[in-house]
Amino acid sequence: MKNMLKVILIAVSFLCLSSCENPLNKNSSNTPPVPASQSGEQNNNKTSTEFTVKTFSSSEGFSCDVHVLSSEKGNILIDPGFYDDKLADYVETIGGLDASLVTHGHWDNLHELDKVAKVNLEAEVFMNELDFPFLRDPHLNCSDINGFSLLVDTKPQTFTEGLYKIGGYDIEVIHTPGHTIGSSSLYLPEENIMFSGDTFMIPFIGRADHPTGNEEDRKTTINKFKERDFPDDMKIYPGHRGNTTYKKMLKTNIDLQ
């Protein structure tokens, strides 16, 4: 009975999210992403499409993990903080990108967005509308405290919390503010994976002492995550500190205890 109630609550949550409007940020020159249709049930262990998530860690003097999701559905890059030869060569071998997604607007997630966009001209780019101003503000994207000024020319399409079809995948965008005002976690139920940016990491939840960070928002995000019931074996791909599963994160993350 308890499990049945959880299933009903999750189904109601998805129905509510699917009814949300997803406006395009007025600064974006592109059309908004197409909302995804809701699938009937979640497959926790197998999907109809084989897929690969390959993680690349920066060797350029700063910490940053870039993830590339690839399958016959499409190819998506998450958080283009760097784009070295090894990563670029891999993207070329899988036939280029269909989309690039940004989980939040800090410089180590945006540093090579322009390069990625220029090399992958057909790829769409998305980020949360609340972090859109970070693109051209060195204070907001925190490049100024690292000794340089990052100004990104690429103008992504924007999303809010809700269900989307991006790059061939059904993606639930979960608004998880606290680290930044627009921080978002990207949940792909069919693939049973989540890209969590700097919000949900193995040891802790991303800190709230950067511009637009907010401790109350951070606490709300923690509670929001704890109220969800994801599959134990869901793989989580953060922006730093390695990958894990939902079950393991609940045990290792001090903020989720």
- Read off the pLDDT of residues 45-79 as tens digits, 9 standing for 90 and up: 334 579 999 999 997 778 899 999 999 999 999 99
pLDDT value, residue 92: 97
pLDDT value, residue 60: 78
CA distance 236 to 192: 9
- Tally of residues, the chain: 257
| pLDDT block averages, 10 residues each, the chain of length 257 | 40 36 35 42 48 93 93 98 97 98 97 98 98 98 97 98 98 98 98 98 97 98 97 97 96 96
CA 148 to chain centre: 25
Neighbouring-strand partners of residue 65: 57
Tokens describing residue 168: 């061939």
SS3 120: coil
CA distance 42 to 28: 33
Percent of the chain residues topping a pLDDT of 90: 78
pTM higher than 0.85 = no
For the stretch 216-234, pLDDT in tens is: 999 999 999 999 999 999 9
pLDDT value, residue 29: 38
Tokens describing residue 207: 């800190």
Beta strand pairing status for 169-175 and 184-188?
antiparallel
CA 166 to chain centre: 12
CA end-to-end span of the chain, whole Å? Answer: 25
**Residue 170 Rama label (left phi>0; alpha psi -120 to 50; beta):** beta
pLDDT value, residue 33: 55
CA distance 247 to 255: 14
* DSSP letter assigned to residue 180: S
CA distance 28 to 157: 6
Place of tokens 């990052």: 150
Neighbouring-strand partners of residue 231: none
pLDDT value, residue 2: 39
